[in-house]
Structure 1
Amino acid sequence: MTDLEIVDCHNHVLRSADHSCDLYSNLLRFSAAMGLPDRPEFFGTPEEAERVMDATGIAHMNILMFTWSGVYWRQGQNILPDESRARAAASEDLRQRIVRRIQDNNTWALEQVAGNPRLSCFVGIDPVLMDSETLLAEVENGLRRGALGVKHVPMNHSTEGDDPRLRPVLDYCASAGVPILTQAAGFMAGRPGRWAKPLADFPTLKLIFAHLGHDRTFGQGADAEVLELVRAYPNVHTDVSLRLIEVAEGHVSAEDMVAHLRKLGSDRVLFGSNWVISEYLWMRSRPGVAHPGSHDRLDREIEVLKTLPLTDDERTALAAGNFRRLTGLGR
């Protein structure tokens, strides 16, 4: 399908080279000691995102505005004073500064999408450092300014889906019909099964599990938990970010991938790439590559998207249609 429209629902476009280097060395902890460059050669900025879309044929990128606030909070504990009163005051100041960073990053993302019809965004939250009033205000402000949804990252702030601090956001989003995209994994925080009770309590919640569940054994564990919840709740979806490369590299056959996607339902799966983080992760799996490209892995994932033995209707839904329907993009 040479005219296939592709909407990438799962992107991490970054503010600047400095922002990208902080992700690379501080969040991912990449360095020369790992056989990698000390800093990346591409940065995932909006300007680079435009070039990548032009080069790959992607029509639209959805920014998941992720602030690694949990990393900042844990690092900040090391420089708090010893005396209890001073420590409490410094801790509160640190919390407020990190919350402001989340808000400022969301504001930046909203400004980018306001001026570029090829971009949309989900605003980021931290239910540990943000109280319920601040959480709801940030979500409401984001939606008022054009955000399409909310991004939740369990590995960052260690809040699983059943954490009570998330409930005000779940209640609001379920009532308002606003989707939440949550990082999922079978080997770290983000276990899909921990969403069973929240989904029972908020059955209309539009929830998107990233990475098909992201189990190390394809179709098992966390992947199977996502399948169970997709079958139980009509508004639960998932995306293929970080997973189509398994087909490209021969770890999962195209036939097995299609069989799994059809079990989930062709109307319940969204295309996503996790760019630009995915390209950095691929650098780690290919040590010694002197000049990695900014969309080397993405090129291979799109080739898999275009060649999986799906029907035309299934491919069209996966590539763009499901995300447009779920979020109202383009209405």
Structure 2
Amino acid sequence: MSDLEIIDCHNHILRTEDHSCDLYTNLLRFNAVAGLPDRPGFFGTPDEAERVMAATAIAHMNILMFTWSGIYWRQGQHLLPDEPAARAREAEELRARIVRRIQDNNTWALGQAAASPRLSCFVGVDPVLMDAGTLLAEVDSGIKRGALGVKHVPMNHGTEGDDPRMWPVYDYCAAAGIPILTQAAGFMTGHPRDYAKALADFPRLKLIFAHLGHDRSFGQGADAEVLELARAYPGVHTDVSLRLIEVADGHVSAPDMVAHLRTIGTDRVLFGSNWVISEYLWLRARPGVRPETSHDRLDKEIEVLKTLPLTDDERADLAGRNFRRLTGLGS
């Protein structure tokens, strides 16, 4: 299986060690009080991503440029003055600074993709802090500068997939054939079912639900919602980030995983790891155990990918061909 091309459609390469520590302590809220190190032992930077690709034989990584803008916005409310006019003025200044951070992060990710043929990116958006014109300008600019898609994170924005502020993005992406990869979950904001109206309004929309839907009960709840939407809308896809580890850990059998993937359609499932966040989440699951590398969990996921009882064509589709077909990578 040495010729199997593996493309990781879902990972979070971070700009610097400080950027990584902000994710670790601010987004994930990991710290010594939670029984975890105050700083991660690895940082998910581009140099480290190159080493991980070499160690795991991943051919290509797709950066999902996620700025946890909602957290920045909510935290900033505590610093605003009491006087109404001053509060409104400084709130607008804060909003503009956060939007600039989203734009700067997207520019950085696009630069990484332009500098390395082994990297690509989806640009991030925030439909709450960005108005419709800014949203469309950022998506359009990102695509023109080489982005392959758009990243949507409902839990960050506090919105669901049917929020009308996302309609301009859906319209643009459906018309241009640009995929949107959205965080999905059955236990927080990001329910797959709430995208049904968007899919009905934009039948050509290419929508990738992360984590197979991400329900705590495999195949149920949000997982079943993704399956139902895939049956109804040909543009619905999903990725296996955070889910192949369930097979590696013995929580889901390999035959059950394959049956679920085939029911969705193995031509509509993409390999993804959620690196480097996935490795941080594993630290929480193994308190006091230090990983040997920054890709312990990823190694297990790749082993599952290679050993699931799939046909050779199904495995090749899942590993990389579906991503190439969906995004046009290399065409």
* TM-score interval, smaller chain: over 0.9
What SS does the corresponding residue of 2:266 show, helix, strand or coil?
coil
What SS does the corresponding residue of 2:61 show, helix, strand or coil?
strand
Q: How far apart in 2 are the matches of 1:54 and 1:120?
A: 17
Aligned AA (1:42): F
Aligned AA (2:142): G
Residue pair 1:283, 1:292 contacting (<8 A) in 2 also = no
Q: How far apart in 2 are the matches of 1:179 and 1:3?
A: 27
Q: Say if 2:179 is the partner of 1:140.
A: no
Corresponding position of 1:66: 66
What's the CA shift for 1:268? Answer: 0.5
Residue pair 2:62, 2:121 contacting (<8 A) in 1 also = yes
Q: How far apart in 1 are the matches of 2:67 and 2:256?
A: 35
Corresponding position of 2:295: 295
Q: How far apart in 2 are the matches of 1:56 and 1:34?
A: 30
What SS does the corresponding residue of 1:267 show, helix, strand or coil?
helix
Corresponding position of 1:9: 9
Alignment of 1:163-312 (within 5 A): 163-312=163-312
Corresponding position of 1:90: 90
What's the CA shift for 1:292? Answer: 4.7
Aligned AA (2:137): A
Q: How far apart in 2 are the matches of 1:266 and 1:248?
A: 20
What's the CA shift for 1:158? Answer: 1.1
Corresponding position of 2:55: 55
What SS does the corresponding residue of 2:241 show, helix, strand or coil?
coil
Q: How far apart in 1 are the matches of 2:103 and 2:2?
A: 40
Q: How far apart in 1 are the matches of 2:98 and 2:288?
A: 36
Corresponding position of 1:322: 322
Residue pair 1:179, 1:205 contacting (<8 A) in 2 also = yes
Which deviates further from its counterpart, 119-128 or 226-235?
226-235
What's the CA shift for 1:289? Answer: 1.1
Deviations 1:123-171 (A, max 9, x none): 0000000000000000011001000000000010112110000000000
Q: TM-score, normalised by structure 2?
A: 0.99
Q: TM-score, normalised by structure 1?
A: 0.99
The answer for unaligned runs of 5 or more in structure 2 is none
What's the CA shift for 1:2? Answer: 2.4
Alignment of 1:23-38 (within 5 A): 23-38=23-38
Aligned AA (1:262): R
Q: How far apart in 1 are the matches of 2:243 and 2:313?
A: 21
What's the CA shift for 1:35? Answer: 1.4
What's the CA shift for 1:291? Answer: 4.5
The answer for unaligned runs of 5 or more in structure 1 is none
Deviations 1:49-83 (A, max 9, x none): 00000000000000000000000000000010000
Aligned AA (2:97): R
Residue pair 2:31, 2:38 contacting (<8 A) in 1 also = yes
Residue pair 1:15, 1:46 contacting (<8 A) in 2 also = yes
Residue pair 2:283, 2:290 contacting (<8 A) in 1 also = no
Alignment of 1:108-119 (within 5 A): 108-119=108-119
Q: How far apart in 2 are the matches of 1:313 and 1:233?
A: 23
Deviations 1:171-212 (A, max 9, x none): 000000000000000000000000111100001000000000
Matched-pair identity in %: 80
Q: How far apart in 2 are the matches of 1:188 and 1:45?
A: 28
Q: How far apart in 2 are the matches of 1:21 and 1:310?
A: 38
Corresponding position of 1:159: 159
Aligned AA (2:165): R
Corresponding position of 2:129: 129
Q: How far apart in 2 are the matches of 1:95 and 1:190?
A: 23
What SS does the corresponding residue of 2:8 show, helix, strand or coil?
strand
Residue pair 1:204, 1:235 contacting (<8 A) in 2 also = yes
Deviations 1:212-246 (A, max 9, x none): 00000000000000001111111110000000000
What's the CA shift for 1:290? Answer: 3.1
Q: How far apart in 2 are the matches of 1:240 and 1:74?
A: 31
Count of aligned residue pairs for this structure pair = 331
Residue pair 2:213, 2:223 contacting (<8 A) in 1 also = yes
